[in-house]
Amino acid sequence: MFKLNLKIALRNLWKNRGITSINVGGLAVALAAFILVTLYANYETSFDKKNPNYDQIYIVGRILPDLKTNYTPPPFGKAIKDNLPEVENVGVTKVGGFEFAISSNGATIFTKNLLRLDYNAAKMFNINPTGGLNKPAGDERLFYLSKENMDGLFPNKKDNKPELVSLGSKSAGQTATVQGAVINDKHSNITFDALSIANVLGEGENYGYNNYNTYIQVKEGTDIANLEQKITAMYRAELVKGETDKSVLERVKEVSVFLDPLKNLHLRPKAGTDANYKILITLSVLGLLILVIACINFTNLSIAQATKRAKEVGVKKVMGAFRFQLTIQFLLEIFMQCVVATVLGLIIAEIILPQFNNLFLVDLAIWRMDNVLIWQLPLILLFITLIAGVYPAMVLSGFKPAVVLKGNFTTSKQSYWLRNSLLVVQFSIAVIFITGLLIISSQLKYMRSQDIGFSANQVVYIKNIAYFTNPKDFEPIRDRIMKIEGVKSATVASGIPDGSENGTNGYTVEGKEANIDFLDIDFDYFETLNIKLKEGRFFSKDFNTDTASSAILNESAIAKYGLKNPIGKIIRGCRTDYKIVGVIKDFKTQGFETAIQPTIYTMKNPCGNSKLEIMLKVDESRMSEVLATLKSQWSDINKKDGDNFRYQFLDELYGKLFQKQEQLQSVFFAAAILTILIAMLGLFAFAKYITNGRIKEIAVRKILGANDLQIFKLINSSFFVLVMIANLISWPLAYILTKKWLETFAYRIEMPILPFILSAVITISLTIITVSIQARNAVKANPVDALKYE
């Protein structure tokens, strides 16, 4: 029986190979998209899952009145371990502040991500160097490189012996011993290209140094909410030790601690951005919707062909076939198509995968032994078989022999309404994608055309390892650089406007204290970036106090403190009284998603970060000449950096802030194309079925005098109504979804009307073209051919 059903299925599929190809092709394309999304979702949701302590590790964060951050002071971890028995282990880490060169006798590599951590953190995160993890002796620091970097420096190394390397410029004579290599798991929140492991990090630093990350490993069954309360109470007690100032004591009451599980850190951290999570959710929904559209196509076309299979069902039932046998037969046909679609989908996914990896900066692969897609794929196949096939199989197997064998059988009104409803759903999803794509494109265009408040064009960012915290240290470097023809200005700062977060601290003006960002800069910082002055003046060498006790605030900081006539007023922070000498206009250092932060700019800050970031404004016409000169003279200009001259263009770095939104735009573009393609394929086949069913009606109308235009209008009218209904349904949904997306931006466009109109024009135009192409043969046919047997 199975063999007979298989033969019948194959013959029916071949007989209707046009519809079969559309069904299989649409499903294959949709499955390829869904497979890629599934791969990406598996990757994004499995960060750090290989860590045996995955469920017990939490990062300790602080909640301040104006800030939520994962940065904590180094002694905090020791206090937690000593006082709370629920905590099994505590580890402290700190990310290195700059990129530096490491050289062997034959090669040089650059470490961009030096991770410092204590021995407990290394154990917690399962750091396993070649030769095993050793505990540092006393104040010793063990230095390791990632396996990629180690292989780059010592490609022929066969043993696990330590190696001597040069750090920074070779002429500086600074060396270090590399103990071994560590595999850098890029599928982890703890990534690095070099490691420095110590017994204790931040020794001697107090609770004012909030630039470390503290991780705790709790015992199983620990009440996390209760533990948070205990750590908060302990932290407040540490902050008020020896403090008598009532205002400080009151402010400490507003400070609290949170614990964020390791499994949240990549997608949904409590402190930080959840952009990865939003991209994942968007992709997952899009992938599922595309698959649903393909299944709707399948269902629609299967029901539409019901009349062709009616007599077959009637004869089989008269011969004694039961309904469940017929249901199994039709499900078998559908399953065979789904299997072929799955194979084709895998082939398409494999072809597209390199472009997908480039877009999302990942390294996904389908054919891996540890890939969970291997067991997910059969479930996906079963899912689409049931979704796309159960209803058509039930409809086909439910025909009554007495009705269908009379020869005047037509599908029920219920099937008619279902087909039309499914078509409306298809086009509604397509309209949402088209509208979303147009609105995303409008927001990106707005972001690229808006004045960001500073100019990154022709600004060269030079990577550097020399500290210039004291303005006098950078003065000779600036003088040498400014002698190069084409250099307009040069400056150094503790950060560059590339979306990076600045440090935050408490500052007081006229008795009002608030946490604001701070940035340590040098002369010509604002001039180099072409930042506009609102009132007062920039830092100047004509004023000796500028290098010690002058400050410039941005407009947001002035607004936060509610200052009027701020020039000359005193702002106190980091045990220093600063005189406000200028106010600059706000500029978007962190892009469009984050509001401009209140910021203070100083040249000397006891609590600040090291000034490492050198920026030059260069004449556009002499850029290549300037860069060549800098490279040849860098070992003399900046001896500590020596022959390791490296640079990037600031506008390129700032442009990376748009990367996530550009990814989203690409995803919506692909989704819109796929949904339109699948919907049009289904519409094409469906229009063919409808047109063929009205051949005699069309012939009669032509005999009675109807012209071609009237016939085209007749056939298109029903589809036009369906597409209009789809637009009316999808517009509110598209509005709600895109409005929520736009609300994630601090600076955004107003909701435009044009995308909604354009989506209607696009879908209606494509529908009319598709249906008209299919109807053309019926309209041009001779009426005699259709009516000669009547």
Distance CA 151, CA 142 (A): 19
pLDDT reported for residue 58: 95
Residues 81, 22: one domain?
no
SS3 24: helix
Of 645, 671, 692, the one marking the end of a domain is: 645
Structural domain contains residue 230: no
pLDDT reported for residue 569: 94
Residues 489, 619: one domain?
yes
Residues 474, 596: one domain?
yes
Structural domain contains residue 239: no
Angle (deg, nearest 10), helices 224-239 and 75-83: 120
Structural domain contains residue 335: yes
Residue carrying the six token digits 């899952």 = 49
pLDDT reported for residue 398: 61
Residues 624, 478: one domain?
yes
Residues 441, 392: one domain?
yes
The conformational region for residue 234 under phi > 0 = left, psi -120 to 50 = alpha, else beta, is alpha
Distance CA 524, CA 526 (A): 6
Distance CA 96, CA 89 (A): 23
Of 645, 670, 693, the one marking the end of a domain is: 645
pLDDT reported for residue 684: 74
Structural domain contains residue 240: no
Q: Quote the number of domains for the chain.
A: 3
Q: How many angstroms separate the first and last alpha carbons of the chain?
A: 40
Residues 773, 733: one domain?
yes
Residues 373, 470: one domain?
no
Which pairing describes strands 512-520 and 599-602: parallel, antiparallel, or unpaired? parallel
Q: Where are the alpha helices (DSSP H) in 97-169?
A: 119-124, 147-153
Structural domain contains residue 187: yes
Distance CA 463, CA 441 (A): 34
Q: What is the DSSP letter of 536?
A: E
Distance CA 515, CA 599 (A): 9
SS3 504: strand
Question: Residue 587 has which token pair?
Answer: 């500029």
Q: Which domain holds residue 39?
A: 2-43+275-447+659-787
Angle (deg, nearest 10), helices 659-693 and 17-44: 160
CA distances from 561 to 219, 512, 608 (A): 45, 7, 21
Distance CA 127, CA 183 (A): 8
CA distances from 354 to 13, 28, 34 (A): 34, 18, 16
Residues 628, 670: one domain?
no
Distance CA 544, CA 441 (A): 50
Residues 622, 698: one domain?
no
User: Cα 698 to the chain's mean position, in Å?
Assistant: 53
User: Cα 8 to the chain's mean position, in Å?
Assistant: 48
Of 586, 618, 645, the one marking the end of a domain is: 645
Residues 557, 590: one domain?
yes
Distance CA 278, CA 282 (A): 6
Structural domain contains residue 166: yes
Residues 484, 534: one domain?
yes
Chunk the chain into consecutive blocks of 10 residues (it has 790) and report each block's average pLDDT, rounded to whole numbers: 62 66 80 88 89 92 85 89 91 84 85 90 90 85 90 85 82 82 87 90 80 91 92 87 70 87 91 81 84 78 63 64 69 80 89 87 79 78 76 64 54 61 83 90 90 91 85 89 93 89 85 89 94 94 90 95 93 91 93 90 84 92 92 84 82 86 82 80 72 73 76 81 90 90 88 93 88 75 60
Distance CA 766, CA 774 (A): 12
Structural domain contains residue 190: yes
Residues 217, 135: one domain?
yes
Structural domain contains residue 248: no
